[in-house]
Structure 1
Amino acid sequence: MQSTHWFILIGLLMLARGMAATTISRSPFTSAIVYLGVGLVLGPTVLNLFHFEPSDESGLLEVLTEVAILVSLFSAGIKMPVPFRRANWDAPLRLAWISMIFTVVLVAAFGFFVLGLPVGAAILLGGILAPTDPVLATDVQIRHAGDTDRLRFTLTCEAGMNDGSAAPFVFLGLGVLGLDETAGQPWRWLFVDVFWAALAAVAIGVFFGAVTARLTWRLRMIKPRHDIMDDLVGLGLIAVAYGVATLVHAWGFLAVFFAAVALRQTELMMAGAPKDQEGLLEPDTGKSQVALDSDSNEAPMTVSTESLVFKEHLERLSELTLVVLLGGMISLQEISWQAVFMAAFLFFIARPVAVFLGLAGSAAPLRLKAMTAWFGIRGIGSIYYLVFAIEAGLAPDLAAQLTNIVLFTIMLSIVVHGLSVKPLMNTVWRE
């Protein structure tokens, strides 16, 4: 397919998605299933109009997935409850770190003992498949900044953090395969890729998020007041936080998520928004002291609130494009037993076991644990780490084997979770 054909295809899909929004919202399946179906029909499975080979297009695919994840992480961070409370964040923190480790260990063990992968490749596969997805999980994520649903918050926050916490296991797998500078240096991996990368990422994100919030707030409050282009400020914050974190060998994804969290937390605290039982209200739902003291009795705009709509549009475009491409990467005739077994093991054993172990001893109710255990949606983050490994020099045969397993696992996740999300959210989980 030529570029002109892609413009027409993506344009038609955007028109159809935009005009069929109500129909899709009422349907028993998600929009991602529709995009995947289009990709499978146009790809090598049916019409073979295009075949997007990850190993050949790994550089382009890495950039596309990277941008999609960054925008999605920023949107997720903006929606986090204010103020930050340890009790609220206990479950997501356990999932993003403890459950992440258990998932990697279980997937790596299955890859080594059952699939016969080398140790390094098994660890790498664990790091690739362990993170849940912030892009495709829109139906189980926080809907808006004031959403207090506990399950949505837990899943959104987990996806916001575990794309970063999966990185050291990807590096470890590459190191064991001799493709990373940590090869033969376990202590360097532990102190640099794990501890330093995590702490530095959080610090960088919080710093830039808080500074941006204070600076834009003061510009809006001084006289004469300054107009702020919130969309550009939000995109600029993403780029700076990610770039600085990557420059100092920290986890850029984690830095962007916490930059968004710090941005919104700082803006609302500076606004003096009134508190309720769940935390600080949004300025448009509860008058802040600044609004009450102003001549117009209106709350000032914030970068987090005003840029959120634009970021969500980018999320939808990224989801549409990348899932169609995913369908074009897959030929159902080439599905392997390894991919089917791995997907079944991940969905029905590794994810539930990891979640219940990670949340053991927490205050999370059983229903929350069970729903969280099921909705471990895999997607764009796994594609990113797959092509990252390919770009690092993964052997062609091994790259083809891991690509087959990862892509089919993601495809099955889109279908299985996409068909179950609405029935379960509307029946089992209904607050």
Structure 2
Amino acid sequence: MRTSDWFLLIGCLMLARGLAATTIARLPVTSAMVYLLVGVVLGPMVMNVFRFDPVNNTRVLETLTEIAVLISLFSAGVKMPVPFIFTRWSPSIRLAWLSMSITVGVVTVFSYYVLGLPLGAGVLLGAILAPTDPVLATDVQVRHAGDYDTLRFTLTSEAGMNDGSGFPFVMLGLALLGAGDVELGAWGWKWALVDVVWATAAAIVIGLAGGTALGRLGWALRNQEPKHEVLDDLVGLGLIAVVYAVSELAHAWGFLAVFFAGLALRHTELVLAGAHKNRQGLLVPDDPKADPANDEVPDRATTPLAVSAEALVFKEHLERLSELTLVLLLGGMLTLSSWNWRTWGTALFLFVIARPFSVLLGLAGTGLSMRIKLIISWFGVRGIGSLYYLMYALNHGLPTTLARDLIQITVVVVGLSIIVHGVSVKPLMDKFGKKRAPVGTERPE
């Protein structure tokens, strides 16, 4: 396709999405499903108007997916209820580290014994498919800063953290395959200390420090005399870029750092704005007109003027554009040969066995109701994060003999996730949406 053809196609999709927003919201479909359908119809499976070969475009696709995930992670961090209270975040932490690790292990066993892949390739495939996605899962994530729903909070914070916690397993898989520059050390001690402990801890510290510093600086500039204007969109993007770059230089996980930078930025701005804690211990903006007896769910309009709040709308627009472009390209990656028992079988195993098993095991003893656990176990949406990990592996020495197998499995799993989770998200969220308590108020089983 020519450049003008791409402009025409993407422009038409953007117009259609913008003009049909209300219609799509009423239908049992998601926008990602529409983009995927267009990509499949125009791609090699039907009309063959265009095809996108990830092997020949790894650098471009890695960069596009990297940017999309970073923007989405920052947006997710900004929308998180603050402050950080361990008892409230405990289920999310378990999902992001324990359940994800279990998923990697289970998928590794399946890949080795059923798919016949080498051990390293199985670990790598598990790392690619285990993290849930912050880009395509917007329908089951928190909707705005101040959305304190338990289910949405848990799914969003899980996706925000496991895009970073999955990286050590990517490195482990590449090391076992003899690819990349990862050194395991005796019994894997070097990998454990550097790629797990250091990279994770440093990312959290860098993110918290960056978000806190920007929050204080922006607040000081806004409240000095004469008043100082702050370009929130550029400042927010600048924070993402700086935190990510510093993390990369420090050999820390940048995705994790960007998520915690958004979290720290919102927390700092709420504290400086004089926000008070409600009965669940959450910081909420002061609103003289609000009824003190009903302050559990503050009005979105009361969010203080700040970088985190003002830049959020712009970030969501970038998320939509990223979703449109990348899911369209995903449709161009799917071919008829992609649909075989290995790809179908992996997707079925992941959705029906690996994800539910790891979630139920990881959340055991948390006090969340079985209904919440089952919904969480189903909505393990795979998407842009998985594509990024795949492209990262391709650009860091993944053997070509394994590349095609992992590409086929990944694109089919992501495509099926968009369909099956997209079809089920609205009915399930509508059915259970009014029955959930605010985060922090779930009663034990």
TM-score tier (shorter): over 0.9
1:218-367 mapped onto 2 (5 Å cutoff): 218-278=220-280, 279-282=282-285, 301-367=305-371
Return closer, same or farther for 1:328/1:277 CA change in 2, 3 Å cut-off. same
Alpha-carbon offset, residue 347 of structure 1: 0.3
Question: Is 1:273–1:286's contact at 8 Å kept on the other side of the alignment?
Answer: no
1:29-40 mapped onto 2 (5 Å cutoff): 29-40=29-40
Among 192, 195, 200, the residue aligned to 1:193 = 195
Q: Deviations over 1:324-368 (max 9, x none)?
A: 000001013431211111000000000000001111111211111
Q: Deviations over 1:196-239 (max 9, x none)?
A: 00000000000000000001101111111210000011000000
Alpha-carbon offset, residue 2 of structure 1: 1.1
Alpha-carbon offset, residue 376 of structure 1: 0.2
Alpha-carbon offset, residue 413 of structure 1: 0.5
Alpha-carbon offset, residue 429 of structure 1: 4.2
Query: AA paired with 1:342?
Result: T
Secondary structure of the structure 2 residue equivalent to 1:361:
coil
Return closer, same or farther for 1:31/1:299 CA change in 2, 3 Å cut-off. closer
Query: AA paired with 1:134?
Result: P
Aligned twin of 1:16: 16
Say how many residue pairs are matched: 421
Secondary structure of the structure 2 residue equivalent to 1:132:
coil
**1:138, 1:284 → 2: CA distance?**
28
Q: Does 1:381 align with 2:385?
A: yes
Alpha-carbon offset, residue 182 of structure 1: 2.4
Question: Is 1:132–1:162's contact at 8 Å kept on the other side of the alignment?
Answer: yes
**1:165, 1:87 → 2: CA distance?**
20
**2:289, 2:115 → 1: CA distance?**
55
Return closer, same or farther for 1:47/1:180 CA change in 2, 3 Å cut-off. same
Return closer, same or farther for 1:300/1:352 CA change in 2, 3 Å cut-off. closer
Q: Does 1:134 align with 2:134?
A: yes
Alpha-carbon offset, residue 428 of structure 1: 3.6
Query: AA paired with 2:153?
Result: F
Secondary structure of the structure 2 residue equivalent to 1:367:
helix
Aligned twin of 1:61: 61
Aligned twin of 1:204: 206
**1:42, 1:312 → 2: CA distance?**
27
Alpha-carbon offset, residue 285 of structure 1: 9.0
Query: AA paired with 1:350?
Result: A
Aligned twin of 2:411: 407
Alpha-carbon offset, residue 286 of structure 1: 7.4
1:83-102 mapped onto 2 (5 Å cutoff): 83-102=83-102
Question: Is 1:129–1:382's contact at 8 Å kept on the other side of the alignment?
Answer: yes
Aligned twin of 2:148: 148
Query: AA paired with 1:281?
Result: V
Secondary structure of the structure 2 residue equivalent to 1:363:
coil
Alpha-carbon offset, residue 21 of structure 1: 0.2
Among 177, 193, 213, the residue aligned to 2:215 = 213
**1:167, 1:38 → 2: CA distance?**
31
Q: Deviations over 1:118-145 (max 9, x none)?
A: 0110000010000000000010010011
Secondary structure of the structure 2 residue equivalent to 1:430:
helix
Question: Is 1:220–1:300's contact at 8 Å kept on the other side of the alignment?
Answer: no
Return closer, same or farther for 1:148/1:178 CA change in 2, 3 Å cut-off. same
Question: Is 2:100–2:166's contact at 8 Å kept on the other side of the alignment?
Answer: yes
Structure 2: gaps (5+ residues):
291-301, 436-445
**1:157, 1:400 → 2: CA distance?**
32
Question: Is 2:338–2:409's contact at 8 Å kept on the other side of the alignment?
Answer: no
Question: Is 2:338–2:412's contact at 8 Å kept on the other side of the alignment?
Answer: no
Question: Is 2:44–2:335's contact at 8 Å kept on the other side of the alignment?
Answer: yes
**1:97, 1:183 → 2: CA distance?**
22
RMSD between aligned residues:
1.4
Structure 1: gaps (5+ residues):
288-297
Q: Identity over aligned residues, as a percent?
A: 59
